[in-house]
Structure 1
Amino acid sequence: MSDTPIPPDVLAHILSRLPVPSLLRLRSVSKPFRALIDSDYLIKLHLHHSLQSNSNTHLIFGGDRSLSYLSLDPPSAAAAAAAAVTPTHNPLYFAIFEPVILGSSNGILCLCTTEPDNEIVFWNPLVRKFKKTKLPPAKCIQGSGRGICIKGFGYDHLHDDHKVVRLVQYCNLFKDPLHSKLEVFSLRSERWKEIGDFPYHLCKRRYLNVYANGALHWLVSKEPDLRTNFMIAAFDLATEELRFVPRPDFADFADRNNNLQASQVNMGVLGGCLCMVCNYPKTNVDIWVMKSYGVKDSWSRLISTSDGKIVRELDFLRPIVYSKSGREVLLEKNFERFYWYDLGNKTSKRFKVVGMPRFFVSEVFTGSLAQVNIGSGSRNVTKKEQNEKDSRKKDDFLSKGFRLVL
């Protein structure tokens, strides 16, 4: 038997390797344990370890106002033929308009409803805490018809702030922008700020913006025809400045197919890196990955396949995540099914997820202890959680010893 005190730093490193549900259960061990698990130090340490080890990875599914999530953490996930989702509370279930998933960062998901309702939620589905607010409506231009309003979500690492970016654009009959503005909402200050004009045409794809490397990315062009000279625009959330990222060189494969314009292009994120999917209908699909952000020569073709299961009747393809071993990539096809693609033998197999909607929108998020301090996933625990928060103020875990009896 041993009751030697464990230093707080050592205990924190041990706890940082556990999944979030286990840590939430351990909060009831003692007040010092709860104080340590709820501390900013352990929250950041746990997130850092999860990102570095490619662990605590989850998929959340949205559709028909229901939300559910799936853990991709088991080592055998890539080898499994099927898995089952876990239903979870939808903090915008009673909204007038059906909510959409804007994105995720550091374990925080952002949900919103469409214009003009504009309810928005910052939410940790594992900790079951959320913060809800309502955004002001986008500016309307009289006589200009219906405009485009898209939103994106990401994290400003410089100011430790989560931000929502809104891009509003109205065009005339010749598709020239009449009004095009970028606006930013800060979760820390809870205020909107207008950034400036956005004089580019947006690529009207299902996924209009992609968050990677601290920036939101869009496919844009200076001309209405986006099939040829499109560019990758990047809005840096820390500096709140617009820049451009070099795109991959599609020429080699396009020459073999003699028709680059026939390809369908969309962006994504894989392993924290910006990626691009180029679909040559009924022929081939290429997935490019930018290994060093902003460096044109770092674009490399990770996947090039003509597998019928992938290419046949393909409207949209998106890489989701690497397997734990890094030898497989999970692909989402047409918002209705998944495939594990083996990078070694270049084959794919169907991955069935029991309980997900027939047609869905999915988002990858890292399970974390990150807190958003207003709201709760269950009204019944709001008072209890507030009492726990008050009691934590009385605990100074760094001044106490932790004892683990073996």
Structure 2
Amino acid sequence: MVVEQDESVHLPLEMIEIIVPKLPVKSLLRFKSVSKSWNTMISDPAFVKHHLRISKHSNPHNLFMQKHPNSKGFFSLVKFEGRKFRTVKLLECPYACVKFLAFCDGVLLLSDISYKKLTLWNPSTRQTANFEFPYAHCCYPMSYGLFHDRTVGDFKVVVICRDHCAIYSCKDKAWTRKRRIQDIGLVQIGSGVCVDGVVYWVNRWSSDGTHILYFDTKDDDELKVLRKPENVNLTGKMIDLICLRDNLCMCCIGRGVTNVQIWIKEKGSGNSTWKELMTIENVQTRASCFEPLLHFVGNKILIVWKDSKLVVYNPSEKTFEEVDDSVLSGRGFFPYTESLFFPNQNN
């Protein structure tokens, strides 16, 4: 990420390279018109990646998105400050998109009520890309995933159906179909979690146990099974996956109904090495009501329960603080990521 010093900008180059990547997307889009060198810098793929990395790991404003509880076609941008949420603004999503399916690197996957018309939308840049699921209704989708293959600069949508999975490449603007994983009955698949260019799902309560499935383009575009932590009995336990600071984490009920264990996987799609990150103790409701939406706010963790109640957990003191979540609807709630990425860019 190198840019020549522009004579019209009276700032040292070192300061520009430190400050500019921390700016919001709205400012960056405006600053592209400052000069040719600024436009070149902000459009540089290395700058776009660097800006996203800062946005994902800092989120200094503690901003979150959710489907607006009362207005169809809108998302709410909400901010967490102190111990309460407040609505910052409403974001109008693309026409006819009423279902939230997945998100990755600041890009959301949405659909209409039929799940046939799909849209990728970056709420930071307001860019959209529309396409359709082309297969027969008998191939009714069971789950979705969205990931960003940064090696080729392509966003891909994965749709898992009963007897196959379908992959849409935004770069090629085409669908391909793959056989589903053999010997694993697809009974109940949760939403896909994207981490470092790979999508992971939990296949719950199949005939031979709970599995973690993953999809990686470097592995011939096929679903594979990821091994769970060794020497840990997860039989009959509900597990969920989350992305925590760009790492894949697994949550499960620990020893007793009031403990929740969180495991973190080492980097690499096929790497099945897990380490125990923490145990959330003294859960104030049954651990089975635990919903794995966690987000660091300073040195504390924001947690949402399945009944949509939010609390802040202090890992050092092992205490909970109640949160005023009256502005939340409890649906489609996830951290907001500022991003310049979009599929129709040459990333």
Residue 91 of structure 2 corresponds to which residue in structure 1?
A: 88
1:11 aligned counterpart, secondary structure: helix
Shift of 1:71: 4.7
Map Cα deviations across residues 95-135 of structure 1 (whole Å, 9 max, x no partner).
5xx31231222x222212354x4221211112222222222
In the alignment, what sits opposite 1:214? 197
- Quote the RMSD (CA, aligned, Å): 3.3
Equivalence for 1:347: 319
Higher relative contact order (Cα pairs below 8 Å, separated by 6+ residues): 1
Q: In the aligned structure 1, how far is the partner of 2:31 from the partner of 2:42?
A: 8
- What are structure 1's unaligned runs of at least 5 residues? 142-146, 170-179, 255-259, 375-406
Of 306, 309, 312, 1:334 maps to: 306
In 2, distance between residues paired with 1:114 and 1:137? 16
Give the Cα–Cα distance (whole angstroms) in 2 for the partners of residues 250 and 265 of structure 1: 16
Counterpart among 155, 160, 171 of residue 188 in structure 1 = 171
Q: Is the contact between residue 203 and residue 211 of structure 2 (CA under 8 Å) also seen in structure 1? A: yes
Match of 1:305 among 270, 281, 296: 281
Counterpart in the other structure of 2:261? 286
Partner of 1:319: 293
CA-to-partner distance for each residue in 1:141-195, whole Å, 9 max, x for gaps? 7xxxxx55322111112211111001110xxxxxxxxxx1121001111100112
Identify unmatched segments of 5+ residues in structure 2.
1-6
Match of 2:246 in 1: 272
User: Amino acid of the residue matched to residue 303 of structure 1?
Assistant: T
1:134 matches 2:132: yes
User: 2:19 is matched with which residue?
Assistant: 14
Q: 1:138 to 1:157 in 2, by over 3 A?
A: farther
Distance in 1 separating the partners of 2:78 and 2:23 = 17
| Alpha-carbon distance change, 56 to 82 in structure 1, aligned in 2, over 3 angstroms | closer
Bigger shift: residues 35-44 or 152-161: 35-44
The answer on whether the counterparts of 1:61 and 1:68 sit within 8 Å (CA) in structure 2 is yes
CA contact (8 A) 2:147 2:198 kept: yes
Correspondence for 1:398: none
**In 1, distance between residues paired with 2:207 and 2:118?**
33
Counterpart mapping for 1:4-403 below 5 A = 6=11, 11-27=16-32, 29=34, 33-34=38-39, 36-51=41-56, 53=58, 55=60, 58-64=63-69, 65=72, 66-71=74-79, 77=81, 80-85=82-87, 86-92=89-95, 94-95=96-97, 98-105=98-105, 107-113=106-112, 115=114, 117-138=115-136, 140=138, 149-169=142-162, 180-199=163-182, 200-204=184-188, 207-220=190-203, 224-225=206-207, 229-239=209-219, 240-249=221-230, 251=232, 261=236, 263-279=237-253, 282-293=257-268, 294-308=270-284, 311-312=285-286, 315-323=289-297, 325=298, 327-334=299-306, 336-353=308-325, 355-357=327-329, 359-371=330-342
Alpha carbons of structure 1 residues 299 and 114: separation in structure 2 relative to 1, 3 Å: farther
Q: What CA distance in whole angstroms lies between the structure 2 residues aligned with 1:153 and 1:26?
A: 30
TM-score under structure 1 length normalisation: 0.70
Other structure's SS at 1:366 match: coil
CA contact (8 A) 1:157 1:238 kept: no
Q: Distance in 2 between matches of 1:250 and 1:304?
A: 20
Deviation for aligned residue 1:295:
4.8
CA shift at 1:35, angstroms? 5.4
Deviations 1:29-86, CA, capped at 9 Å, x for gaps: 55654554344443233223334556576421025533112356xxxx4xx1112122
Contact 1:56 1:71 survives alignment (8 Å): yes
Residue 3 of structure 1, CA deviation: 7.5
Find the structure with the greater CA-based Rg.
1
User: For residue 82 of structure 1, what is the amino acid of its counterpart?
Assistant: K
Measure the CA separation in 2 of the matches of 1:136 and 1:70: 35
- Using a 3 Å threshold, how does the CA distance of structure 1 residues 153 and 305 change in structure 2: closer, same or farther? same
Partner SS state of residue 202, structure 1? coil
